[in-house]
Amino acid sequence: MAKLEPVLLVGAGPGDPDLLTVRAMKAIGRAGAIVHDRLVSPEILALARDDALLVPVGKTPRHHPVPQERINAILIDLALRGLAVVRLKGGDPFVFGRGGEEALALRAAGIPVEVVPGITAAQGAAAAVGAPLTQRGLATGLRYVTGHCHGDGPLDLDWAGLADPGTTLVVYMGVATMAEIAARLMAHGMPGDLPVLAVAEATTPRERRLVSRLDAIARDAREAGLAAPVLFVVGRVAALAAPPPLAAQLRAMAANA
């Protein structure tokens, strides 16, 4: 049996093709088959070879037309055909991207795997709006959580630990559950007037954003018509993306810390 090429688990970043790594761009350009998520932007898919096989396996909240086990089987089948396979994921393959599950399945089938990291959505959104995720005097820590649990089960997070206003909390995949998340955080002591930034389709031409409060973010995001993918940044740093005077006040607070 001929030596198989490794399957590349490639992070496509937050959407803007200019934010791809050099290695990711090279991998996309030489791939014979690209198995891609819904969150990979059309601008990035346009970088593929004209003859590349494009296999969409995207999911939406509570709708998974291609189960994870089937995705694993597709990757294994394409690799065994001898194709140069890229598994292309929005953000980073190992940040809420199920890259670990796919790597284990491929290796169990005897297929080598390499990982090409990408800029995750939190970093892309923060850069796009000019609001740092950590800043002296405002946030001394940073936590990433998912607002979507396996099998659409109930959210089971460390609510007491997450409800720290001195830590920036970034919520991925939370557009359908943000009302519950906000209520749980406030029940554990997080102030309702804490700023929250919501960014939809960050870094793409379709980007939309709003700054609200924890006690109003779910309603405001719904009324604004923000649809997945939406990233929520909960914490004082979120106000740095707001118009003055609030942002100016927080910058002064940080400067004096």
Catalytic residues: 37, 59, 173
Closest by CA position to 241, among listed 142, 129, 138, 133? 129
Distance of CA 202 to the CA centre of its chain: 10
The CA-to-CA distance between both ends of the chain, in Å, stands at 63
Nearest CA to 54 out of 67, 42, 68 is that of: 42
Q: What is the 3-state secondary structure (H, E, C) of the chain?
A: CCCCCCEEEEECECCCHHHCCHHHHHHHHHCCEEEECCCCCHHHHCCCCCCCEEEECCCECCECCCCHHHHHHHHHHHHHCCCCEEEEECECCCCCCCHHHHHHHHHHCCCCEEEECCCCHHHHHHHHHCCCCCECCCECEEEEEECCCHHHCCCCCCHHHHCCCCEEEEEECCCCCHHHHHHHHHHCCCCCCCEEEEEECCCCCCCEEEEEECCCHHHHHHHCCCCCCEEEEECHHHHHHCCCCHHHHHHHHHHCC
